[in-house]
Amino acid sequence: MPKQTQVDADVVIVGAGLSGMIAARAVLAAGLTPVVLEADERVGGRILTEDVIPGLPVELGAQWIGDTHERMFLLAAELGVETYPQFEDGETSYDLVGSGVLRESEFHARFGDELAELERVLRRLDELASEVPVDAPWSAPQATEWDSITAGAWYDAQGLSPVARTLVEICTVGILAVPTAEVSFLHLLFTIQTCGVTSELFAESEGGAQTTRFVGGTAEIPRRLAALIADHIMLRVPVQLIEHSADSVSVHCRGGLVARGRRVIVAISPTLTGRIMYDPPLPGARDQLTQRLPNGSAMKAFFVYDEPFWRTDGFNGQLISDVGPARMSNDTCIPGDDHGVILMFLEGEQARTFGRLPEDERRAALTAELVRHYGGKAAHPEFYVDGEWSDRQWTRGCYNANHGPHVWTAYGSALSAPIGVIHWASTDTATYWSAYMEGAVDAGERAAREVVAALLG
């Protein structure tokens, strides 16, 4: 059979991540024909589950949803993917600012004042974030001021104790995956506001962003979604060029495929949208925006043991530390499987530095940290795997696009505004839980609404 060189559709969608596939499903539901062009050999984008041991899926990408992620709960239900709660029983282990390893109860007893400081800062962030319109952060009353400083500079100015300052840094980097010295304070407030309040964002329990997991692995969501629109997805077709006119698009892929349609939804991270050639070229303001939205750096490292021995010792598998390469960890055991699985997070500078060491050195440094917190049993995992996202050609970093100072106020209005027949999706453009799977669905649905309204009136 000759290689397919042309495909026609109403709506061409670039990227078969969650956002692009949600958009495709919505377009199809409206009676229009989508075609999704995916550069990679798989769907799912920043969702990536790998069965490293048969029956033991590990989540190298997006993993959790939270209680207010309504779209994701609904989607999981529609797709028949069951959920289960994140394991939370037991104590977190701390080691901060030279405290040495302390159990949660000890840490709270010793650093009650510092935790109260942190709480005050989070309440203040909530107050300020409530003034940021999620669909136009640049129009917040103090947008200019907030966008001229970094989140780190704002934290520094709060007069926090070293423990509170370190804790708030770890919490923030855990969301943004870049140091707070690189992120606009306005962007931090925007992020908080798209998620509700800081307690939603920073906490893992009682309503946080990480309360719930998916049976079989998160990738069940994109896998089943793809199955519903399988006739409309093409893999291994990297988009190089989008020609566009007032009422049509021709999307050219490496290898020669041309997808023609009436509208295009580009459902990849903003920095990647900037790598496509557009003819006619996009306005300077859009182009300068995509030069200024780098993805963060995140690495997840999984240790698999024969059992979750930390539970027996009263630990929940979470650590918060400024000592080793990982600032945080999580118990990510699978219900019904006997293995103990601990996930270590390396984010921002940690991913950039330790993430580039040879694997044996990364593993040794992380193992040493686990041993310090959970004892000698941690020294001998059955299995180790890690994954860093900047090496992945079709993703190039996680968790999302980060806005440095002045980006929202100088260029933000170009983030999701359609340009002629070109529309933008991906969680980075969401106004509800931006950077999360929930945001991917939000943005995909919004882009589909724009396109359907334009084509069907």
Binding residues for FAD: 19, 38-39, 239
Q: Could you say whether residue 356 binds a copy of itself (CB under 8 A)?
A: yes
CB atoms within 10 A of CB 255: 12
Select the residue interacting with a copy of itself from 109, 277, 357, 379 (CB under 8 A): 277
Q: Which residue in 85, 193, 215 sits closest to 139, CA to CA?
A: 193
Q: In angstroms, what CA-CA distances link 333 with 182, 205, 225, 274, 342?
A: 34, 17, 25, 39, 7
Q: Which residue in 151, 90, 22 sits closest to 319, CA to CA?
A: 90
Segment lying near a copy of itself (by CB under 8 A), choices 273-281, 374-382, 432-440, 447-455: 273-281
Q: Could you say whether residue 325 binds a copy of itself (CB under 8 A)?
A: no
Q: Could you say whether residue 162 binds a copy of itself (CB under 8 A)?
A: no
The number of residues that bind a copy of itself (CB under 8 A) is 44
Select the residue interacting with a copy of itself from 260, 372, 406, 449 (CB under 8 A): 406
Q: Could you say whether residue 411 binds a copy of itself (CB under 8 A)?
A: yes
Select the residue interacting with a copy of itself from 238, 311, 418, 419 (CB under 8 A): 238
Is the Cβ of residue 274 or residue 444 nearer to a copy of itself in the bound state? 274
Segment lying near a copy of itself (by CB under 8 A), choices 42-50, 69-77, 88-96, 393-401: 393-401
Select the residue interacting with a copy of itself from 83, 158, 240, 250 (CB under 8 A): 240
Report the binding-site residues for substrate.
Answer: 345
| Contact yes or no for 166/152 (Cβ under 8 A) | no
The rounded distance, in Å, linking the Cα atoms of 292 and 285 is 11
Is the Cβ of residue 117 or residue 388 nearer to a copy of itself in the bound state? 388
Select the residue interacting with a copy of itself from 232, 263, 292, 363 (CB under 8 A): 292
Please name every residue paired with 213 in a beta bridge, in sequence order, or none if there are none: 84
Cα end-to-end span (Å), the chain: 39
Residues 6+ apart with CB under 8 A from 52: 58, 302, 304, 383, 385
The rounded distance, in Å, linking the Cα atoms of 194 and 438 is 11
Shortest CB 160 distance to a copy of itself, Å: 17
Shortest CB 149 distance to a copy of itself, Å: 7
CB atoms within 10 A of CB 425: 33
Segment lying near a copy of itself (by CB under 8 A), choices 10-18, 59-67, 222-230, 345-353: 345-353
Select the residue interacting with a copy of itself from 254, 307, 361, 380 (CB under 8 A): 254
Q: Could you say whether residue 353 binds a copy of itself (CB under 8 A)?
A: yes
Residues 6+ apart with CB under 8 A from 313: 374, 375
> Which alpha helices (DSSP H) does 354-433 contain, by range?
359-374, 407-411
Report the binding-site residues.
Answer: 19, 38-39, 239, 345
The rounded distance, in Å, linking the Cα atoms of 290 and 424 is 12
Whether residue 280 is preceded by a cis peptide bond, meaning omega within 30 degrees of 0, is yes
* Chain positions contacting a copy of itself, by CB under 8 A: 148-150, 153, 179, 181-182, 238, 240-241, 254, 271, 274-275, 277, 281, 283-285, 287-288, 291-295, 297, 349, 352-353, 356, 388-393, 396-397, 404-406, 410-411
